[in-house]
C-alpha cells in the first residue's frame, strides 16, 4: 500500500499543477514599465533585483550562461524582481531576439517562474514544455524545499539540456511526485482490468471480451498516464518496472477478490 508520504506528494503535485493552470488562464498581464535606471552599468547575463542568488552564485551563473551562448548561440538571461522591475528596458539591454530566453523570477505570484521565449526556440521547445517547466520548478512546494536559487538553476539546466539535444517535448527527468501519480494511475488501470476480467459464466477463467470492452479505460490509465510520462522523461528502467508491477498487482487483486468472496459464501440449502 502507498504510505502517507507518497499520497502527500501526489496531492502536492496536483495542487502545483492546478495552480499553474489557474495562473496561466486567469492572470492579467502586468503593466509594462520602463525603468532603465535599475539596470547595471556593466554587461551581465543575470540581473538579481530580488536578491534570490548569492553573490558567488550570481557570478558563476553569469559565466555559465555566457559560456553556453558562446558554445551554442542560444541566449539565456535571468531577471529576478520583487518590488521594482526594469520593464521594457531590459529587452534592449540584453538585445533579446528570437534565439533568446529570459527567465523571470518573481516571488509575488503563486508561481515563481515566468519565461519570455523567442520564436525560434518555440520551434524546439513547445508551449507545453514551458508550462511543465514552470509547474515543476516554480511551484511553492519546490521553492520551499529547494529555495529560489535552486528553482532558477534547475530550470535553466533543463533548458540547456533540451537546447543541446535539439529540442524536447517534455521536461527531462522524472520527479518523485510525478512518478507517484504515474504509479497510482497504473494501479487503478490494473484494478479496472482485473475487475473486467472476472469470469461471468460458469467454467470461464477470464472474461476476455470484457477486458477488450474496458480496454480504452484501463489502457489510458496504464499506458497513456502510467507508462507514457515515464518513458518520455527518463531512460531509467526502475520506475517503469514499478509501474508495470503496480498494474499487475492491481489486476490480480481485483480479479481474485470477487472469487474469494464467492468461495466464502455458504451454499444455500436444497
Q: What is the CATH number for 89?
A: 3.10.310.50
**Domain boundaries, position 102:** 4-165
Instruction: Please tell me the number of Cα atoms within 13 Å of 146 on its side-chain side.
Output: 17
- Mean pLDDT, to the nearest integer, of 31-44? 75
pLDDT above 70 for 192:
yes
pLDDT above 50 for 40:
yes
Domain annotation covers residue 187: yes
**Residues 156 and 224 both lie in one domain:** no
Average pLDDT over the chain reads 84
Domain boundary among 165, 185, 211: 165
**Residues 66 and 98 both lie in one domain:** yes
**Residues 85 and 194 both lie in one domain:** no
| pLDDT for the residue 38 | 80
| pLDDT for the residue 235 | 81
| Helix, strand and coil percent figures for the chain, each rounded to 5 | 60, 10, 30
198 touches 211 (CB < 8 A): no
**Residues 73 and 148 both lie in one domain:** yes
Q: How confident is the model at residue 201 (pLDDT cuts 50, 70, 90)?
A: confident
Domain annotation covers residue 139: yes
Segment among 10-14, 56-60, 202-206, 217-221 with least mean pLDDT: 10-14
**Residues 143 and 20 both lie in one domain:** yes
Strand order in the sheet with 75-80: 46-48, 75-80, 100-105, 113-117
Domain annotation covers residue 50: yes
- The number of domains in the chain is 2
- C-alpha cell recorded at residue 27: 492572470
| pLDDT for the residue 46 | 95
| pLDDT for the residue 28 | 36
pLDDT above 90 for 229:
no
Domain annotation covers residue 83: yes
Domain annotation covers residue 246: yes
Domain annotation covers residue 260: yes
Encode pLDDT of 124-156 as tens digits: 999 999 999 999 999 989 999 999 999 999 999
**Residues 160 and 183 both lie in one domain:** no
**Residues 148 and 222 both lie in one domain:** no
Among residues 170, 257, 254, the alpha carbon closest in space to that of 211 is found at: 254
Encode pLDDT of 68-100 as tens digits: 999 999 999 999 988 878 888 888 899 999 999
Domain annotation covers residue 39: yes
**Residues 136 and 211 both lie in one domain:** no
**Residues 161 and 32 both lie in one domain:** yes
How much of the chain exceeds pLDDT 90, in percent? 58
**Residues 13 and 138 both lie in one domain:** yes
**Residues 158 and 59 both lie in one domain:** yes
Amino acid at each position: 500500500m502507498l504510505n502517507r508520504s507518497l499520497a502527500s506528494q501526489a496531492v502536492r503535485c496536483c495542487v502545483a499543477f492546478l495552480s499553474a493552470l489557474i495562473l496561466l488562464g486567469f492572470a492579467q498581464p502586468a503593466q509594462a514599465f520602463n525603468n532603465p535606471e535599475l539596470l547595471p552599468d556593466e554587461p551581465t547575463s543575470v540581473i538579481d533585483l530580488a536578491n534570490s542568488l548569492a553573490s558567488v552564485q550570481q557570478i558563476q551563473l553569469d559565466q555559465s550562461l555566457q559560456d553556453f551562448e558562446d558554445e551554442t548561440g542560444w541566449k539565456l538571461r535571468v531577471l529576478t524582481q520583487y518590488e521594482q522591475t526594469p520593464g521594457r528596458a531590459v529587452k534592449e539591454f540584453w538585445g533579446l531576439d528570437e534565439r533568446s530566453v529570459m527567465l523571470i523570477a518573481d516571488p509575488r505570484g503563486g508561481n515563481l517562474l515566468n519565461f519570455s521565449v523567442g520564436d525560434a526556440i518555440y520551434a524546439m521547445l513547445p508551449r507545453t514544455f514551458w508550462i511543465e517547466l514552470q509547474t515543476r520548478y516554480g511551484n511553492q512546494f519546490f521553492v520551499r524545499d529547494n529555495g529560489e536559487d535552486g528553482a532558477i538553476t534547475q530550470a535553466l539546466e533543463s533548458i540547456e539540456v533540451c537546447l543541446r539535444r535539439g529540442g524536447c517535448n517534455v521536461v527531462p527527468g522524472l520527479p518523485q511526485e510525478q512518478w507517484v501519480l504515474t504509479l497510482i494511475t497504473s494501479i487503478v488501470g490494473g484494478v479496472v482490468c482485473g475487475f473486467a476480467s472476472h469470469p461471468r459464466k460458469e467454467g470461464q477463467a477470464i472474461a476476455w471480451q470484457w477486458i477488450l470492452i474496458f480496454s480504452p479505460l484501463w489502457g489510458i490509465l496504464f499506458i497513456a498516464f502510467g507508462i507514457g510520462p515515464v518513458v518520455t522523461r527518463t531512460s531509467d528502467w526502475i520506475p517503469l518496472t514499478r509501474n508495470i508491477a503496480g498494474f499487475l498487482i492491481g489486476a490480480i487483486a481485483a480479479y481474485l477478490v470477487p472469487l474469494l468472496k464467492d468461495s466464502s459464501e455458504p451454499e444455500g440449502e436444497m
